[in-house]
Structure 1
Amino acid sequence: MQIIEANVDGLKRTLKVVVGAAEIEQRLASRIDQVKDSVQVKGFRKGKVPVAHIKKMYGRSLMTEVLQDTIRETSESAIRDRKERPAQMPNIALSEDQDEINGVIEGKKDLAYQMTFEVVPEIALADFGTIELERLSADVDDETLQKSIDDLLKRAGSFEADEGRKAETGDRVTITYAGTINGEAFEGGSGEGLSLVLGNAGFIPGFEEGIVGMGKDETKDVSCRFPDEYSVETLAGKDAVFNVTVTQVEKPVEAKLDDDMAKAFGAESAENLKELVRKQIQGEFDKAARVKMKRELLDKLEALHTFELPQSLVDREFEGIWQQVEAGRKQQGENAEDAGKSDDELRADYKKIAERRVRLGLVVGEIGSKNLVEVTQDEMRMALMEQARRYPGQEKFVYEYFEKTPGALQELRAPIFEDKVVDLVIGKAKVTDKKVSRDELYEQVKAATEA
């Protein structure tokens, strides 16, 4: 095999690889030797077909297999010998001259092909000891704890009928209704014995508000308008009138915090429930603080590492982002941040995001490689279990999906690997601890993630 360096331009490589006809012929002979015992030809016993006959009948198809294997093996060898890491699979280009192709297949000409690829750049890692980070922390105050307890009790509360009560926001009502548009009934516009909690926005705007103030056995016409973006196109933007009869009004009864109620939530006592809720809130605060510090760290890692990016990786990342943008437009319309921008402006913005992701991905990968960071089997097993728990009753299908989809496993592994690298760098950085209030914490998290 002969390798000729045709072009080197930054991270781009173009190599010409030539494999002699004699070597190809040897590979073909070896391939024929592998299959000769299994070839069946009329007039010959199995395993007794002459090599010349096999070559005459199957030589072209076997040669095609040999050439494919040869290109794969020699291209991998060429890259390995150069001690370079390709950013993506190389692009292989064969001659378009049919006579030359036939000559190679017939064993009369050398196999020559050109391979083009980009390499992963050499990355000089920064001194992590020079990185300064701020680690925020917030304590759970009594007001925050009580609000969470109140919300918990509200969700655990019940409703009781009140015969003379006029419906208020927060009450549960049972209704029968029939809707019309321009005096005509429409599909899905009527129902009987429906229960809804007023104020939960379970219906189109104006419907629940129109029921407020009604009592049991009262009937009333409620006028509303379907939103312009309503999911049923035939109803979107149209005015409707619903004839509503209230058959029951129930007022909310908030649960009382006592030991029995606490046990219903899996706690040992009321005090134990408070402690569990406090720990949960503290965990949320700590998670938010980590999000902020991680973003700050990634920003600094990006700024500290400047190198040429493989354009193929940037293009692939950008295409993935742009597909998500277009899918989001179709499903939900344009988001507020993108409103008023041309496609060219949006592409430029998302190209910068793609470049950031590629740069940080390469830096994180290099840090992990240099520091022997690995994701263990136990960590992957825990991540798989967490994914399976999200789909109760379908756990088997979740495991089968990840087992059959290597790309999905890599997506599961990547954030675990990244977090381990982040922890490693934080452990070497200069970290200053700072106490803040809950509101200050979330304000800083918002500012960091929206930057």
Structure 2
Amino acid sequence: MQIVETTNEGLKRAYTVTIPATTISERVEGEIKKIAPQVRMPGFRAGKVPANLVRKMHGEAIHRDALSTAIREAMDKLVADKALRPAMNPDVALGEGYEEGKDAELTVSLEILPEIAAPSIDGFKLEKLTVPVSDEAVTESLERIASQQQRFEAKDGAAAVGDQLIIDFTGKLDGVEFDGGKAEKAPLVIGAGRFIPGFEEQLTGAKAGDERTITVTFPEDYPAENLAGKETTFDIVVHEVKAPSESKIDDDFAKELGLESLEQLTGLLKGQLEQETAGLTRTAMKRSLLDQLAAGHDFAVPPTMVEAEFQQIWQQLTQEAQNEEDAEAALAEIEAEKDDYRKIAERRVRLGLLLSEIGQANGVEVSSQEMSMLMSQAAQQYRPEDRQRFMEYVANDPMAAAQLRAPLYEDKVVDFLIEKSEVTEREVTREELQAAIEADADADATEEKKPAKKAPAKKAAAKKDEASADEAGEEKPKKAPAKKAAAKKADDAEAGEEAPAKKPAAKKAPAKKAAKED
């Protein structure tokens, strides 16, 4: 095999690689001899089919496989002989006009990883912002859950806003019942906005035993095309009218959530709050550490790695911007600062390379057990029938495995560096801790400060680490009741059985890897 270097500029390398025709033909002949005993052909005993007939039957496929194997081995030899550390998979092209019996001329181009002097792991100074979990914070969480686990008690008289009705309903389009438009003893809270517009309002004043027929028009964007924008009627039978009652936070309340006592519920909530604040504390320390690491190193990074990182950031940003109320303005904002996001991508790549060097120099590893867990978790995003194929793909593709391993590996290196750092502690409030994280998130890759207030899409892109940063937020009325909801955030405690007449859930962007700035 002949290797000729054609480009050596910065981190870019290019080569022409010639694989002799004899190398490929020897592989073909060897494969024919290997499979010949297994070939079956009328007129010949098993294992006695002549080689020339085997070649005629399977020669094209065998040659294709032999050429592919030869190219793979040639790339391995190129990397080994030239002591290359490819940043990404090399771009390999087979010369035009190649045919069986000729030498295979390959054009190979790639970018290599830069040579990085062993980074120092001494001298990092970090401030650990701690947040004690107060009884008041636990009580607030209890009250938030109680407010979303609203209880209702039977009442006499007409239903008012805030009351719950237990109803049967039958939907009809042009006088004919439609699929999914019928339910029995369904709960409905007037004013909750869970059903399509106009449905709940027309039941104000209803009493137990009432029968009504109401007319409503489905939204234009309703998922069921046969109902979207159509005027329909619903026959209603009211079984009960209930008024909201105060939720008493006691052992019975805890038992309704699947727990044994209020003490257990309180303990779970306190543990959750401690875990959340610990995550925020680590986020702040990680950002400070990476800022110090980035400030001390400046070297060229492979453009292809930067571009791949940038495209990942940009994809998330555009998806989030498109989900904004004023999508056009949000898209214009991120477009105006596109160069800043490229700098963020470059910073991430540089930090990733630094952390990799530090980890390798200090024996930080991701165990085979941890890798198996990562693969299993990642496989869950695929259909059941595709999960095994994904696992095999990662196991056989070093680049894919490296991409899957990278986040955990970098976190392990960060933890290693935090242990080596000089750490001082300072007690703050949760609000102060979050403010410190937000302030840091608005610093771009060149350490120039951006305004504190940004569009939601911009803020999401600037985050460096989102661990435990979520707050209890908007209601999620489509969630099914969860018996163990007590230990979750308040927005996971909402219950309610979905009825066809309810509003469709808001569309969400596909789940993607967060655009976190390291």
**What is the TM-score of this pair, normalised by structure 2?**
0.67
User: Does the residue aligned with 1:87 lie in a helix, a strand or coil?
Assistant: coil
Give the equivalent residue in structure 2 for 1:420: 412
Give yes or no for contact 2:219–2:228 (8 Å, CA) kept in 1: yes
Greater helix fraction, Structure 1 or Structure 2: 1
CA distance 1:292–1:224, change in 2 (3 Å): farther
> Which residue type is aligned with residue 11 of structure 1?
L
Confirm or deny that 1:122 pairs with 2:110.
no
Q: Is the 8 A contact 1:92 1:115 kept in 2?
A: yes
CA distance in 1, matches of 2:65, 2:309: 33
- Which segments of 5 or more consecutive residues in structure 1 lack a partner in the other structure? none
Indicate the residue corresponding to 2:394 in structure 1: 406
Alpha-carbon contact 1:328-1:334 (below 8 Å) kept: no
Please state how far the C-alpha of 1:5 moved relative to its aligned partner: 0.9
Matches within 5 A, 1:99-248: 101-102=98-99, 105-106=100-101, 109-156=102-149, 158-164=151-157, 167-169=160-162, 171-174=163-166, 194-203=186-195, 248=240
Residues 301-380 of structure 1: matches in 2 within 5 Å? 301-325=293-317, 332=323, 339=330, 341=332, 345=336, 347-380=338-371
1:10-89 aligned within 5 A: 10-39=10-39, 45-48=45-48, 62-89=62-89
Q: Deviations over 1:181-208 (max 9, x none)?
A: 9x99998999885422345432456765
Q: Secondary structure at the match of 2:188?
A: strand
Q: Deviations over 1:38-77 (max 9, x none)?
A: 4556666554556567667766654443333222211211
Q: Quote the Cα distance in structure 1 between the aligned partners of 2:326 and 2:375.
A: 33
- Cα distance in 2 for partners of 1:60, 1:238 equals 60
Q: What code does the residue aligned with 1:122 have?
A: E
Answer with 1 or 2: which has the greater Rg.
1
* Alpha-carbon distance between aligned partners in 2 of 1:52 and 1:398, rounded to the nearest angstrom: 39
Instruction: Give the deviation of 1:364 after TM superposition.
Output: 3.1
Deviates more, 1:236-245 or 1:247-256: 236-245
**Measured at CA, do residues 320 and 34 of structure 1 come closer, stay the same or move farther in structure 2, by a change above 3 Å?**
same
Deviation for aligned residue 1:371: 2.5
Deviation at 1:86, TM superposition (A): 1.3
> Is this contact kept in 2: 1:18–1:112, CA < 8 A?
yes
Q: CA RMSD, aligned part only?
A: 4.7
CA distance in 2, matches of 1:125, 1:196: 65
Question: Partners of 2:326 and 2:415 in 1: how far apart?
Answer: 34
**What SS does the aligned partner of 1:113 have?**
strand
Change (3 A) 1:270 1:112: closer
The change in CA–CA distance for 1:204 and 1:138 in structure 2 (over 3 A counts) is farther
| Identity value in percent | 38
- The Cα of 1:150 is off from its aligned counterpart by 2.2
Deviations 1:376-412 (A, max 9, x none): 3444566678789x99xx9987975764552897776
Classify the secondary structure of the residue corresponding to 2:242.
strand
Residue number in structure 1 paired with 2:273: 281
Specify whether residues 287 and 42 from structure 1 end up closer, same or farther in structure 2 by C-alpha distance, changes over 3 A only.
same
Cα gap change, 1:411 to 1:162, in 2 (>3 Å) = farther
Per-residue displacement from partner, 1:86-135 (whole Å, max 9, x unpaired)?
Answer: 12222222322x3xx34xx23xx543322111112223353233333222
Instruction: Give the structure-1-normalised TM-score.
Output: 0.75
2:317 and 2:334 in contact (8 A); partners too? no
Instruction: Give the conservation status (yes or no) of the 8 Å contact 2:41–2:49.
Output: yes
Question: How much does 1:218 deviate?
Answer: 8.2
Aligned length: 438
State the alpha-carbon separation in 2 of the partners of residues 221 and 439 from structure 1: 51
Q: CA deviation at 1:429?
A: 2.2
Bigger Cα displacement from structure 2, 187-196 vs 355-364: 187-196
Unaligned runs of 5+ in 2: 442-458, 463-518
Q: Which residue of 2 aligns with 1:444?
A: 436
